[in-house]
Amino acid sequence: MILFTGFILRIIYFLKPRSFWGDEWFTIFLSQKPFKEVLLGSIRDVHPPLQFVLYYFGGYRFLPFLAGILSLYFFHKLSKDKLATFLFAISPYFIHLSGEARGYGFLCLFLILALLGYKWAFPCALFTEHYSWFLLLAIPFSIWFLPFLAGSIGLIAYQTQAEEVFAIERFQWSVFGLVKKISGLFIQFGGGVGYSFLTKSQAILLIRKVYLLAFIGPIVFLFYARNKKYLKLFFIPLAVLLIFYPIRLNARYLPFCGISYILLITEGFQTMRKKYNKLALSILICFIAANIFSLAWMHKINYDPYHREDYIGASEYIKKNYKPGEGLIGCREQVQYYLKENFPEKGDAIWEVYLGNLDMRVNNERMHLQEVELKRKATLSKKFGDLVWVIKYE
């Protein structure tokens, strides 16, 4: 019944139309090229080739959905625990991974398989997503994959160079920034997928949201968890990122930490119940309720809950208001993908689909520069999601 519930939640998420976001577009546009160009493009990029090879055959929503269903089944075999399986089944964090046209869902599946003892799954994980190169060092240190240790270190060395990990601007060690990122990690692992990539002012406003405590309450259970293997798998990657790459300290890149988190809080809950039964149950019930609330919001929107880029809404708006002879600039490929129609870049009036910023000052400055460049005034602007703007210059 638990597995069936998880399957139904994932199939509902799979069937709901959702706008692709920036990195998903990159994945789609690269994987649509001839196979040789797909391989060369992935080699030139920081991402390894496996996810692009898989998406070369299409299935931008179906393949991660399939990975999510398999992850649910194999997680059940890994945990051998009904509560852990239930938390995994209803988790908005893992349901989102099963619906994103990126490599994180595959990475999640391969890591569960690796933890179950399938050695072939570990190199598959390494060649699926580029953050695995940098972070999967935790697995050889934690369990029996020592033969892969040299390969991991080599891939990590490549990754640090390819993504300029040690560039000065990558080191953002402000106290507030780290507190925001670390607390955000636990909110996202706990199912609060909407609370990511926030500005400083937005993060400060969240402090007043008392209900967010429901997402991070299970942190208490970690103090009662004793499984050394999963404690290492959870904390080593976080420590590595915190020290060397704090700008990328985000739950989306850490599905193996998410797996460990579910297993650890389940163990910690069962231990804590023996001493503080009512408190442990209250924390768990609030946590489940917060996940259900997050799921309801996630199924309501038609865009990625993390990045909140609504190109479907923007495309539909342009379709209703666009007149022949007008031009379209900005995210033209995205609009043309949904409307199945080509648009000229120049015209009597110019429409722009603009991927904006959470900081409105940045958006206003960009709009002013466009007015100067196009020698037209912005007469209309409308936001879709949190970041996509449709602007008309006349």
In whole angstroms, what is the distance from residue 52 CA to residue 366 CA? 33
Residues of the chain with pLDDT under 70: 131-153, 155-156, 159, 165-173
Same domain, 215 and 100: yes
| Of the candidates 108, 98, 82, the residue with the CA atom closest to the CA atom of residue 7 | 98
Q: Does 181 fall in a domain?
A: yes
Q: Does 67 fall in a domain?
A: yes
Q: Does 305 fall in a domain?
A: no
Q: 289-346, pLDDT tens digit by residue?
A: 999 999 999 999 989 998 899 999 999 999 999 999 999 999 999 999 999 999 999 9
Task: Specify the pTM.
Answer: 0.89
Same domain, 73 and 109: yes
Q: Does 383 fall in a domain?
A: yes
Residue 11: the pLDDT is: 96
| Of the candidates 100, 96, 101, 98, the residue with the CA atom closest to the CA atom of residue 109 | 98
Same domain, 270 and 228: yes
In terms of residue numbers, what domain contains 160? 2-300
Q: At what angle do helices 332-339 and 311-321 cross, to 10 degrees?
A: 80
Exposed, middle or buried, 80 (CB in 10 Å: 0-12/13-18/19+)?
A: exposed
- According to DSSP, the β-strands at 378-384 and 388-393 are antiparallel
Pick from 300, 324, 353: which residue ends a domain? 300
Q: Does 205 fall in a domain?
A: yes
Same domain, 315 and 280: no
| Of the candidates 21, 32, 28, the residue with the CA atom closest to the CA atom of residue 60 | 28
**Structural tokens at position 250:** 């985000």
User: Looking at the 3D structure of the chain, how many domains does it have?
Assistant: 2
Q: 168-188, pLDDT tens digit by residue?
A: 666 666 777 777 788 888 999
Same domain, 270 and 331: no
Sign of the torsion formed by the C-alpha atoms of 308, 165, 138 and 109: positive
